[in-house]
Amino acid sequence: MATAGPMQYGVTAPLSNALPTDTENQASNDLIEELKRQNNYESTSDTNKRTVVLQSLQSITEEFVKKVSRAQGLNENLVKNAGGKIFTYGSFRLGVFGPGSDIDTLVVVPKHITINDYFEHFPDLLIKMAPSGAITDLTPVTDSFVPIIKFEYSGISIDLIFSRLAYLSQVPKELTLADDNLLRGLSEPELRSLNGTRVTDDILNLVPQKAIFRTALRAIKLWAQRRAIYANIMGFPGGVAWAMLVARVCQLYPKATSSTVVLKFFRIMEKWQWPTPVLLKPAQLTPQGGAQMNVRVWNPKVYHSDRNHLMPIITPAYPSMCATHNITRSTQKIICRELKRGGEITDKIMTGKNPWKDLFVKHTFFTQGYKYYLSVIAASTTTNAQLIWAGWVESKVRLLVAGLEDHESIALAHPFNKGFERVHKCQSEEDVEKAKSNLEFQIKEIPTETTAPANLPNGDAIVNDQIANGDEKSTATGGTMVYTTTWYIGLELQEVSIYPGPVWLSANVIDFYLAMIFQKTYSEKAKSGLLAHKGGRLSMERQGSVQPQKYVKYYIRPQKFGIFQPAGVLYYSSEKTADLGRVRLAIEFLCEITPNPTLSSLLRLTSV
């Protein structure tokens, strides 16, 4: 009788079943040591702390279900057995989390519990049942694409999403989410929430060696973060997408060690014939063991929008979705450029010429990357308003990037993968307007922070249209607080311009501006604002701050009756001071110019 061959992982046969050599094993050991030096692993005590927090959330979930069930008049036996369960997804569930990582968490409840119940009762129960003072920064966001409650529990950041199971009256502790039929009857947000865990579990089940996969993924995630190409919301792969790429390489080299997987990752993905999709298993168009569901499955043969995806990386769990639908032409070029660079460095590492730390060298986006930059600033006078407004703007910056890509004089528009949050204190309305458009009146004691969008299962932003609360006045001095978030886009111009002279960006800025302010999220009552700036290359000083060698400001500001002042201009000129006069003449009727800007604290590189 013929014996069965080894299990095949993935949609094709392996490229190699070779066992690792001594040299490759040593390179893997060196990689792990470097990851430890880079503080990529969490201590056992901190991991145990996470376990305690998750156990507490499980108890709170069960009590939440009981409370709502009793309020609905269910008999005590049904109340007792209704259950409820906490699941994790993302980096924590994959086993690649590090110090300071958040925990992406899902609350699963029976069919009679609603999302309204969740937001009405769960936040109060968190505060009541957790140790005193353990819950901080509690922020429910009800109207986002995937509703979420964000908070910190004993210093651990938690992103908590919700899903009910439409056909189950009980959620036992032993429940898994592997059955496709659990998706029946769910709303789209509930389905996406549930699929976060299902996708994570499928990825782990589709790799031949989990320990090898995890080490290689830690390396690739660290590399992508250091090179600033890690953020779904800004047009780069997010954590799930990078995990699927590494998993695919593990399938192609099922017996390889982690160092070899990292090397092959760069070489294979650099040469991948996009838009051929990356799949971990054959596409599943229908649910297992059941009738067709009314859900959309990624299928470029059916959906025109799916054919437009530039670098499709497809989630393995039903219904399959593209995890990289936000990638633009520019971000694709940047990703491929970084893959090539990473491969060249890893080649040298594997031959003993370079150490692993060279792979994790930080990006040079602000110091050597570009001659010209475009910045977008979202500003508000309350923290709640800014959370809503900045989240909305951040989710749409890639639309501005896509518009800039279509400009005949722009070769590439490179969005930095994080925004920069600053706090300003102003004493007059004039000061407020100045703070909204630059760094004046910034509170130096409050450091500039980078944004960290919630890692929702589909990578989309948290955006809602709730009326913002919060006091815009400082209780200490009566001054007004202004909260700003700034995003930067590096611009690479065409070597030969079709139209010599200035490069006008007015149309791109206007389109983006209108797309922002005509949404419900924009609120005059919340005193939100959107501004755009254009500047030259940034250079680093010894003190660690960044200063522009040349800077020309333009902005767009809402006026009464929707009238505004948009403008934009770039020159193919050198960095001589005289060029500022030409720019001023070109746009003096369209925007406001700052002749001698002082921007000594434009960015703090330690926060990048």
Residues forming the annotated binding site? 102-104, 159, 221, 230, 239-240
Look-up of token digits 């290689």: 216
Mapped onto helix, strand or coil, the DSSP state of residue 255 is: coil
List, as one string, the DSSP characters of 321-382.
Answer: -BTTTT--HHHHHHHHHHHHHHHHHHHHHHTTSS-GGGGGPPP-IIIII-SEEEEEEEEESS
Q: Which of 515, 487, 517, 485 is nearest to 386 (CA)?
A: 485
Tell me the binding residues for ATP: 102-104, 159, 221, 230, 239-240
Peptide bond into 300 cis (omega under 30): no
104 is catalytic: yes
Q: Active-site residue among 85, 102, 253, 436?
A: 102
Peptide bond into 319 cis (omega under 30): yes
Q: How far apart are alpha carbons 238 and 222 in whole angstroms?
A: 12
Q: How far apart are alpha carbons 521 and 393 in whole angstroms?
A: 9
Q: Which of 203, 167, 202 is nearest to 186 (CA)?
A: 167
Q: Active-site residue among 9, 89, 153, 230?
A: 230
173 is catalytic: no
The helices-and-strands tally (H runs, E runs) of the chain is: 15, 16
Q: Which of 84, 79, 89 is nearest to 61 (CA)?
A: 84
317 contacts 195 by C-beta, under 8 angstroms:
yes
221 is catalytic: yes
Q: Active-site residue among 56, 69, 144, 159?
A: 159
Look-up of token digits 């109340």: 79
Q: How far apart are alpha carbons 292 and 285 in whole angstroms?
A: 9
Q: How far apart are alpha carbons 34 and 8 in whole angstroms?
A: 32
Q: Active-site residue among 28, 56, 69, 91?
A: 91
Q: How far apart are alpha carbons 263 and 277 in whole angstroms?
A: 21
Helical segments of 95-187, H only: 115-129
230 is catalytic: yes
The sign of the dihedral angle between the CA atoms of 188, 194, 195, 196 is positive
CA 472 vs. chain centroid, Å, equals 28
Q: Three-state secondary structure along 512-575?
A: HHHHHHCCCCCCCCCCCEEEEEEEECEEECCCCEEEECCEECCCCCECHHHCECCCCEECCCCC
Burial class (CB in 10 A: 0-12, 13-18, 19+), 179: middle
Tell me the binding residues for Mg(2+): 102, 104, 159
Q: Active-site residue among 69, 117, 221, 330?
A: 221
471 is catalytic: no
Q: Active-site residue among 89, 104, 201, 554?
A: 104
Name every residue whose Cβ is closer than 8 Å to that of residue 208 and which is 6 or more positions away in sequence. Answer: 7, 9, 250, 251, 254, 255
Look-up of token digits 């910045």: 375
Report, as residue numbers or ranges, the catalytic residues: 91, 102, 104, 159, 221, 230
